[in-house]
Structure 1
Amino acid sequence: MTDETDTDLPVSVAAATPTVRQLIRKHYPTLTQSERKFANALVENYPNAGLATITAAAEGAGVSTPVVARMVQKLGFKGFPQFHQALLQELQAKVSGPTERRAVWAAEAPESHMLNRFAGAVTQNLAQTFSNIDTTQFDAAARLMASAPGLYIVGGRITRSLAEYAFTHFQAIREGVTHLTSSPATWPHYVLDMVEGDTLLIFDVRRYEENLLRLAEIASDRGGRVILITDQWASPVAGLAEATFHCWGEIPSAWDSNIATLSLIEALIAATQEERWPEARERFERLDKLFEMTRLFRKN
């Protein structure tokens, strides 16, 4: 039985807009073995595995339809139709451009000043981002970026400035850090020097870039290890990444915010620095001496 309320998002989703993927992660410990089987199948082929009928979704995961029905209810949905609608809305959000994003905000904008609305959205984005970070995965990513033979960093059309910011700091912490230019035509030159065990840090947010996915595939084929920083909906690169970090960015604007993403970058920089502090300190001291020689900065 379905009615209008069947496809309304549950209160927990509407208030904080977590994705179905995040709900699975949150409730995973409470799932049975069969329910986890469906959850794993969905995450591996997200969101496509959940966009079929409940019967087809169950068959695709090798479980029964009652198992699927129970799992979606544990995630907070009233039934499969509501779960299905949430996945469709995520899919639509993934491909939306600035015009569509502004239309969504304009339709629901409160009558408060833009500064208050913006501050509220940013605060919520930060809370959502950091509350959904797996600390074990975060620590492993920091160790990987600290110890990999080489660290390569690349961003897309919008995130290239974030990649450059990350490069500036990581390059001061350790040797062997390379910033890939924003021109995909030059990427093969960088890949040429990649060796097994090198780490590729990729920034990719909606609308996701095919060139970044292809770069991740090539790097993985060469034994590279991929770390992805993406948005709450997840870049396709997530399927190749050892660690994926989701950053919330919706604000009352035609554009998404990078404030939460920048905060995550700075946390990773700090953690990586601590992983190799003796070497990092020595590099900082040498770098300061070079700055003194060049007289780049003014002394008071």
Structure 2
Amino acid sequence: MTEGTGTGSLKDRINAEMEQLTASERKIANVVLADYPYGGLETIQELARRTRVSAPSITRFIAKIGCAGYQDFQRQLISELKQRELSPIELKITEAPPEGAHLLTDYTRRLIRQMTYMAENMPQRQFDEVCELIADPSRNVFIIGGRVTDSIAQLLSIHLRQMRSRIYHMPGNPELWPEYVLRMRKQDIVIVFDVRRYQPQLAQLAHLISEQRQSTIVAITDKWMSPVASYARHVFAVPIELETAWDTQVCLVTLVEAIIVRVSEMDWTATRKRIESWDRIRFSLQDALKEGGGTEPDAE
């Protein structure tokens, strides 16, 4: 899924053309996508050797995805790589001014456009499949985010814990990760949030999990694709750009809240029983604290 205001990444364009490609061109596409975007940064001769197709076939493939030649193809890949690492200071240079309205009104309109785009382009079947995996009580679910997105990972963790057991929010300290990785089984789910200015340690974690534990990884990222996506069975590329100095997290939160609602409805009877039991314990602890003269715990 591409972000609403652009023409789409090369990855999106390759996927869009996949059914129209010849067998040889599909080989090229698969090699490039398997290690995107780095798979397209080698020489045309090396790519031909790896795919066992001719250089002219690569040239025809490049033309089909809208590039003026192999050099243009690589230039666009490099541009995408640069976009992955842009800071607010760099984004400020290309910031779009408000469209004749107060900042809050204009900002809200931009958010609405991006959320609408996400809703219209989200692969619904994949969304349902991931929700089914999360709702399966026999599976452990491990959740982790990056420097900014871990707060959204926590939001998902908090709500899922009230619906079912075996939900684990992994801490940010890599020294503590082995305890969680050792619990992972092949049938388990690992949800990783990682948006641009990606964190290399999350990609290293995903690589290790895919090799040693073979759990199903779900990557929630942006259109430039976190390296984590290379190891994920399911990838959600969520819009984060608003043409301001700051990327938005609102679409990430929208996706998470939709997952929460969908998972809760898949077995509402079990969800209701879990919440009722959860609340009985919470309220009894609050009453005990009041009777003992303690302070009431903070609300969630």
Aligned position for 2:252:
261
Q: Which letter does structure 2 place at the counterpart of 1:129?
A: M
Q: CA deviation at 1:234?
A: 0.8
Matched, 1:129 2:121: no
1:75-94 superposed matches below 5 A: 75-94=65-84
Point out the more displaced range, 162-171 or 49-58: 49-58
**Could you tell me whether the CA contact under 8 Å between 1:121 and 1:251 is conserved in 2?**
yes
Which aligned pairs between 1:27-42 and structure 2 lie closer than 5 A? Answer: 27-42=17-32
Cα deviation 1:58-83 (Å, max 9, x = unaligned): 44322233333333333334444443
| Structure 1 pair 15–62 and aligned structure 2 pair: CA distance change class (3 A) | farther
Aligned positions of 1:1-300 closer than 5 A: 15-105=5-95, 108-109=96-97, 112-113=100-101, 114-147=103-136, 148-220=138-210, 221-293=212-284, 294=286
* Matches of 2:128 and 2:73, distance apart in 1: 32
Q: What one-letter code is carried by the residue in structure 1 that aligns with 2:273? A: E
How many angstroms apart in 2 are the aligned matches of 1:60 and 1:122?
A: 43
Report SS of the residue matched to 2:94.
Answer: helix
Counterparts of 2:249 and 2:268, CA distance in 1: 28
State the shift of 1:291 in Å: 4.5
Q: Structure 1 residues 236, 263: CA separation in 2 closer, same or farther (over 3 Å shift)?
A: same
| Residue segments in structure 1 that go unaligned for 5+ positions in a row | 1-11
Taking structure 2 as the reference length, the TM-score comes to 0.84
What is the RMSD of the two structures over their aligned residues, measured on CA atoms? 2.6
Residues 122 and 249 in structure 1, CA contact (< 8 A), matched pair in contact too? no
**C-alpha displacement of 1:13:** 9.4
Distance 1:17 1:249, change over 3 A: farther
Query: What is the aligned-residue identity percentage?
Result: 32
Shift of 1:130: 3.4
In structure 2, list runs of 5 or more residues that go unmatched: 288-295
State the one-letter code of the partner of 1:122: L
> Aligned-pair distance for 1:116?
4.9
Do the aligned partners of 1:22 and 1:132 also contact (CA within 8 Å) in 2? no
User: How many equivalent pairs are there?
Assistant: 284
- Equivalent residues of 2:142, 2:170 under 8 A apart: yes
CA shift, 1:279, in A, is: 1.5
